[in-house]
Structure 1
Amino acid sequence: MADGVVMREIESGDVMDMRDETSSEVLDEINARQSQTRLSVILAVLFGVVGFLVGTAIGGAGPVVGVAAFLPGMLIGKWFDGYRRVSVLYYDLEQDAEAAYGRLVAAFETLTGCAGRWHVAAGGKIEDLTTWKRNAGASMLVDKKPTTLATTLPQVVRSNVTPPSIHVGRQVLYFMPDLVLVKDGNRYGAIGYGDLRIQFAPSNFIETGQVPSDAQVVGHAWAHPNKNGGPDRRFKNNRQIPICRYEALRLSSANGLNELVEFSKTNVSQPFCQAISALAQVHGSHRSTLYSAGQRSLTSRS
C-alpha cells in the first residue's frame, strides 16, 4: 500500500514455466550449464589455500602468497567457465526471417531513442477524495523506475546475433530471432513470438519529476485540486504540474509473462508490435499479436 492506495504488482510468474516445445531443448541446456558449480570460485579458493600453505612452509608469508595466488585461480576458473557454462546459439536465417528480425531491431532502436523509459512495477486505483487531492487529481498511482534498453547477449550465450533486450525489474527479456529469452537470476525461460501478446496505449501522466526532453505536455494539473479542477486554496504553494502524454507497452503470455514498460513519446510502440507479429508469422504461428489503444491518467510514487 502507498499513500493509502492498494498497489497491485505487475509481475511475471515463475520463469521456469515459460517454455514451449520449440524452446525446451535449448532451455534445458542453458539451465543445466548454469547449475554447474563455478570453477572460478573453486580454483580461486584452492589456489589461495595452496598459496597460503606454501608461503607458510617457506618462511611464514602464507597470507601474502595466498592472496597473490587467489587471482590467478579465479581467472583460470573463469576461462574454463567460459566454455562449461555457456551455450552457443547460431542462426542461419532465411530471407523472410532475416527481414522480419531486421524490422524488429530497427523498431527497437526507435524505443531506445526515447528520453524517458520506465519499468512499471505496480499500480493502484485512487478511490478516495483525500488521496485524489494529494496526488494532483490522478486516477491511478503507479510505482515505476527508469529501465535499461540495450543490444546485448546474456552472459550464458554466445551467438552470431546480438539481440535487443529490455530490463523489466528483476528479469531481462532478450529478443532473439526465434524467441524471447527470459532471464531471472541464473534461471532462464522462453516465450515464442506466437505466444507473445503485446498491447500499447497512450497515457496521460502527471509528471512530478523532470519532464523528458521529447515528451508532449498536453496540459497542467494543480498539485492539490478542487473537485472542479481548480486549485484548492487551503494548501500553500499549490503549484501546477505538467501532464505528459506517454505510451505504455504491456508484454504478456499465457505461460506467465506479465510486464509493463512506458516511454516518453507516443507512436513508438506500433512498429515494434508489427515486427513481432511478422516474426510470429514467419515461425508458422497462427496466434495473433494484439494491439490496443486507450488512455489513462497516472501519477507515480517510487
Structure 2
Amino acid sequence: MGFYVRKSISAGPFRFNFSSGGVGVSVGVKGLRIGTGPRGHYIHAGRGGLYYRGTLGKAGTKKGKQQAQLQPSAPQYVTDGVLMREIESGDVMAMRDETFANVIDEINARQSQPRLAVVLGVLFGIAGFLVWKALGGAAPVLGGAAFLPGMLLGKWFDGYRRVSVLYYDLEQDAEAAYGRLVAAFETLTRCAGTWHVAAGGKIEDLTTWKRNAGASMLVDKKPTALTSILPAVVRSNVIPPSIQVGRQVLYFMPDLVLVKDANRYGAVAYADLRTQFAPTNFIEAGKVPSDAEVVGHTWAHPNKSGGPDRRFKNNRQIPVCRYEALRLSSATGLNELVEFSRTNVSQPFCQALLALAQLHRNSSRPTVSLDSRSSR
C-alpha cells in the first residue's frame, strides 16, 4: 500500500511548490543542493535513496544544543498495595541525533516564539476599546469585535513564523520502504483495542492476588490513538503515522521518529530505535475487543487453587485475552509500551522500521555548515 506525497505545502502566507528543480534558486551537486526561498536557506542532502530537505535559519532565538539529563530511574508509586513502576520516556530534549540537530533546533526555536494570534488579538481589542470609548460608544462591544480580526491576522502570521517546512524527496527504494511502514501501521490501526501502558507492578501477596482476579501483574493502561497526522508545527509533503503515548506523541517521518512532549520536540533516528514485541495474557474485566482471542477464564475472586472463592457472592468469571505488547525504546531515553488486542500485528511494523534503519545506515549523508542568515 502506498502513501500520498503532496507537491505543495502551505505555511501561513507562503505556498511552496516542489518539483525536481526544488524551491527558489538552488545550486550544488548530486546528493547535495543548497537553495534560498522566501523563508531563508534550505538544504537538500543525502544519498542512497533518502533525501532530506529542511528549513535552516534563525527563528527568533539562537540555536544551540539543549542540555538535558535522562531520568536516572523509573518513578515509582503504590496503588492497591502494589509498587508500580512507570514506563515513561526521559526528557525529550535529550533525544537528539546530530544528523537532525538543525531541524529539531529550528522547530523548538519557532515554538518558543510568542503567539501573534494572542498578541495581536489583545492589541486590536485594546485599540478598539480606546477608540470607541473616545467616541462615547459601547467600548466593550467594539473591543470584543476588534479582538477577532486581530487574532485571525496573528494566526495567519503564526502559520509562517511558528511552522517549519520538511520536504522529502524519496527515491524508489526509500519510497517503497516507507510505504511498507505506512501499510504495517494501518494494520495496527485496525485493531479493535489499542492501549498505552503507563506503569506496571508485580503482585506479591495472596490478598492482592485474590483481589485482582489472580493476576500476577497489575498494569495501568489507557486507550490510545493511532492516526496519520502531522504535528501542528510542521508542514510537509508526507503525512506520517503517529502514536499517542501518554503525554508524548511519536511521529514516524521518513527519516526519523519525531517525539513531541507538550511544546518541545526531540528526534530518534531509526538506526537508534529499539523494538520488542511479545504476546501477553490479560485478565479483561472490561469489554472484550471484538478481535481479541479469549484463551481462558478466571474468577473475580479466586481461591488458592484457582477456583472460585465461595465467600464472595456474585463471584463472576472473567475472560483472559491474548494481546500483544510492543515496546519502543532508544539509548537517548525513549521508553514506551503499547498494547494491541490482536497478536501477530507488531512484527510487520517492526520489520518496516528495521528496513528504514538499514536504509539510513547504507546512505551517506554529507556534513554541511551553512550561514543561517535569512536570504530574501
TM-score, normalised with respect to structure 1: 0.94
The answer for the alignment partner of 1:231 in structure 2 is 308
Q: Classify the secondary structure of the residue corresponding to 1:41.
A: helix
Change (3 A) 1:285 1:5: farther
The answer for the alignment partner of 1:49 in structure 2 is 126
Return the alpha-carbon distance in structure 2 between the equivalents of residues 148 and 66 of structure 1: 40
The answer for the alignment partner of 2:115 in structure 1 is 38
| Structure 1 residue identity aligned to 2:274 | R
Q: Give structure 1 regions of 4+ aligned residues with deviation exceeding 4 angstroms.
A: none
Return the alpha-carbon distance in structure 2 between the equivalents of residues 2 and 131 of structure 1: 11
| Structure 2 residue identity aligned to 1:263 | F
Aligned with residue 79 of structure 1, among 125, 150, 156: 156
Return the alpha-carbon distance in structure 1 between the equivalents of residues 82 and 290 of structure 2: 30
Counterpart check, 1:98 vs 2:98: no
Q: Is the 8 A contact 1:219 1:244 kept in 2?
A: yes
Q: CA offsets, 1:164-200, max 9 Å, x none?
A: 0000000000000000000001100000000000000
Aligned with residue 111 of structure 1, among 181, 184, 188: 188
The alpha carbon displacement at 1:220 in A equals 0.3
Q: Is the 8 A contact 1:125 1:140 kept in 2?
A: yes
Q: Provide structure 2 residue ranges, at least 5 long, that are not aligned to the other structure.
A: 1-77, 364-376
Counterpart check, 1:129 vs 2:206: yes
Q: CA offsets, 1:40-67, max 9 Å, x none?
A: 1100000000010011111231100000
Q: Provide structure 1 residue ranges, at least 5 long, that are not aligned to the other structure.
A: 287-302
Return the alpha-carbon distance in structure 1 between the equivalents of residues 82 and 152 of structure 2: 50
| Structure 2 residue identity aligned to 1:90 | Y
Q: CA RMSD in A?
A: 0.9
The alpha carbon displacement at 1:21 in A equals 1.1
The answer for the alignment partner of 1:297 in structure 2 is none
Q: Classify the secondary structure of the residue corresponding to 2:356.
A: helix
| Structure 2 residue identity aligned to 1:180 | V
Return the alpha-carbon distance in structure 1 between the equivalents of residues 172 and 102 of structure 2: 25
Q: Classify the secondary structure of the residue corresponding to 1:228.
A: coil
The answer for the alignment partner of 1:299 in structure 2 is none
Return the alpha-carbon distance in structure 1 between the equivalents of residues 284 and 217 of structure 2: 13
The alpha carbon displacement at 1:13 in A equals 0.3
| Structure 1 residue identity aligned to 2:214 | G
Q: CA offsets, 1:99-122, max 9 Å, x none?
A: 110000000000000000000001
The alpha carbon displacement at 1:285 in A equals 6.5
The alpha carbon displacement at 1:2 in A equals 1.2
Counterpart check, 1:17 vs 2:71: no
Return the alpha-carbon distance in structure 2 between the equivalents of residues 44 and 74 of structure 1: 4
Q: Classify the secondary structure of the residue corresponding to 1:266.
A: coil
Q: CA offsets, 1:273-299, max 9 Å, x none?
A: 00000000000179xxxxxxxxxxxxx
Q: Classify the secondary structure of the residue corresponding to 1:132.
A: helix
| Structure 1 residue identity aligned to 2:255 | D
The answer for the alignment partner of 2:230 in structure 1 is 153
Change (3 A) 1:195 1:119: same
Q: Is the 8 A contact 1:30 1:188 kept in 2?
A: yes
Q: Is the 8 A contact 1:179 1:191 kept in 2?
A: yes
| Structure 2 residue identity aligned to 1:280 | A
Return the alpha-carbon distance in structure 1 between the equivalents of residues 277 and 304 of structure 2: 30
Return the alpha-carbon distance in structure 2 between the equivalents of residues 104 and 95 of structure 1: 14
The alpha carbon displacement at 1:217 in A equals 0.5
The answer for the alignment partner of 1:260 in structure 2 is 337
Return the alpha-carbon distance in structure 2 between the equivalents of residues 190 and 90 of structure 1: 17
Q: Is the 8 A contact 1:40 1:73 kept in 2?
A: yes
Counterpart check, 1:2 vs 2:88: no
Q: Classify the secondary structure of the residue corresponding to 1:249.
A: strand
The answer for the alignment partner of 1:289 in structure 2 is none
The answer for the alignment partner of 2:290 in structure 1 is 213
Return the alpha-carbon distance in structure 1 between the equivalents of residues 331 and 141 of structure 2: 56
The answer for the alignment partner of 2:53 in structure 1 is none
Return the alpha-carbon distance in structure 2 between the equivalents of residues 184 and 285 of structure 1: 30
Counterpart check, 1:204 vs 2:281: yes
Return the alpha-carbon distance in structure 2 between the equivalents of residues 90 and 249 of structure 1: 30
Q: CA offsets, 1:152-174, max 9 Å, x none?
A: 00000000000000000000000
The answer for the alignment partner of 1:291 in structure 2 is none
Q: CA offsets, 1:221-267, max 9 Å, x none?
A: 01111111111111111110000000000000000000001000000
Q: Which has the higher strand share?
A: 2
Q: Is the 8 A contact 1:194 1:285 kept in 2?
A: no
Q: Which has the higher helix share?
A: 1
TM-score, normalised with respect to structure 2: 0.75
